[in-house]
Structure 1
Amino acid sequence: MAARVGLTTERLVRAGAELADEVGFDQATVSALARRFDVKVASLYSHVKNSQDLKTKIALLALEELADRGATALAGRAGKDALTAFANVYRDYAREHPGRYAAAQFPLTPEAAAASAGSKHAQMMRAILRGYDLTEPDQTHTVRLLGSVFHGYVSLELAGGFSHSAPGSQETWSWILDRLDALLRGRLAP
């Protein structure tokens, strides 16, 4: 039955990612995907082993998409421009693709993590930090700090955490990026 509808692993993973964006990453299961394609669950098992495998494949897709956007955003930028561009990639991606963004946080096996675009994200973050002349261990601490701030803010914003008070979330986002830049340059205020 799967051959009749032209299913491939790539098509299923992309459909799973779309499903995750529509109904949430937790709801992106093999059963839900089978319903979407109007096929029996068993017909998908030649492409994905189970829902865990599907989620892993969606996570790998999301990490790759984020890495591609990050690389494009960083091209020709340094310092605060690079920091802001990279931060905005994460925020924009999360707003456009909330399920895929959640997938990018999915715990991967060591083998899947090694094959993922996760290392590209760390390399891009370290490239940004070269503009701030940080050495180890400060560089590693700062990669973790920035990742925590970006993810924390985006997660709270997606959950509606900033929608009921002033100033608006964009103003706060800009303020945070200004303060992070100042911190990285070794100053307390911009």
Structure 2
Amino acid sequence: MPRAGLTPQRIVEAAVDLVDTAGLDRLSVSALARGFGVKDASLYSHIRGLADLRARLAVHCAAEFADRIGSAVAGRSGRDALAAFAGAYRDYAVSHPGRYAATQLELPPEVLAGSPGHAALVEHTYLLLRPYALAEPDGTDAVRLLRSTFHGFAALEATGAFHAAREVPASWNRIVEALHTLLTNWPPTPTHP
């Protein structure tokens, strides 16, 4: 019989707290069971194991991340939307490193296909790029550029890797401005004979 009070949602919420305080690499069924004061077996009535837990965590965090970005960009376009998107992305990644790491997990195709948050993240990114009128494959290349830039900057910032005298927010603002300039003046795709 399942332990009273334990539900898949409560387990995922506990996992969210754990990964933000201890890190995604410290997530385990045993750690969560200890937090609930139960044996590991009590959790297996609600989840199928660590892989299932990680997938549920990723789906939960992707929805949360997408909501943050969606709220930030609502009613904005062009450079304003880019700055809002970038700011929400950076804030989430730096403020919630464990949750953000969960959004980057590789998921089975069927889980990814059923994750509204992951779909919303893709949709928000392509909507952000709409005013820049990039045809394919340039749209995909631009999405990869933005994701790589935001991810890389946030990852470095979160580990305290920026040591230059220049303030980090000043560099961030210049990078966002440079991205806007690049997206506005995207180079044409070369044609091959």
Retained in 2: the 8 A contact 1:2–1:39? no
Q: What is the CA–CA distance in structure 2 between the aligned matches of 1:2 and 1:168, rounded to whole Å?
A: 52
Deviates more, 1:45-54 or 1:141-150: 45-54
> Residue 94 of structure 1 contacts residue 154 of structure 1 at CA under 8 Å; is this kept in 2?
yes
For residue 111 of structure 2, what is the aligned residue in structure 1? 112
SS at match of 2:135: coil
Partner of 2:73: 74
Question: CA 1:2 to 1:33, structure 2 compared with 1: closer, same or farther past 3 Å?
Answer: farther
1:95 aligns with 2:99: no
Question: How many angstroms does 1:159 deviate by?
Answer: 1.3
> Counterpart of 2:132?
132
CA distance in 1, matches of 2:2, 2:87: 39
Matching residue's letter, 1:41:
D
* Structure 2 counterpart of 1:48: 47
After TM superposition, the structure 1 stretch with the greater mean CA deviation from structure 2, 176-185 or 166-175, is: 166-175
**Secondary structure in 1 matching 2:134:** coil
The corresponding residue for 2:18 is 19
Q: Using the TM superposition, give the Cα deviation of residue 187 of structure 1 relative to its aligned residue in structure 2, in angstroms.
A: 7.6
Given residue 111 of structure 1, which amino acid in structure 2 is its aligned partner?
Answer: E
User: RMSD across aligned C-alpha pairs, in angstroms?
Assistant: 1.5
Q: 1:187 to 1:40 in 2, by over 3 A?
A: closer
TM-score by length of 2: 0.92
What amino acid sits opposite 2:126 in the alignment? R
In structure 2, the residue corresponding to 1:143 is in which secondary structure? helix
Letter in 1 for 2:62: L
Sequence identity, in percent? 48
The aligned counterpart of 1:159 is 159
User: When the two structures are superposed, what TM-score results if normalisation uses the length of structure 1?
Assistant: 0.93
**Distance in 1 (alpha carbons) for counterparts of 2:79 and 2:48:** 44
**Deviation, structure 1 residue 2:** 5.2
CA distance in 2, matches of 1:160, 1:2: 43
- Report the more deviating stretch, 143-152 or 117-126: 117-126
Contact 1:55 1:103 in 2 (8 A): yes
For structure 2, the residue ranges without an aligned partner over 5 or more in a row are 188-193
Segments of structure 1 that go 5 or more residues without pairing to the other structure are none
Aligned residues: 186
Moved over 6 A (4+): none
Residue identity in the other structure for 1:101: Y
Equivalent pair of 2:8/2:46 in contact (CA under 8 Å): yes
Amino acid at match of 1:140: T
How far apart, CA to CA, are the structure 1 residues paired with 2:11 and 2:23? 16
- Which deviations, in whole Å up to 9, do the C-alpha atoms of 1:87-127 show, x marking residues without a partner? 11111112221100010111100111111122211111111
Displacement of 1:7: 1.0
* Aligned equivalents of 1:45, 1:187: Cα separation in 2: 51
User: How far off is 1:28 after superposition?
Assistant: 1.2
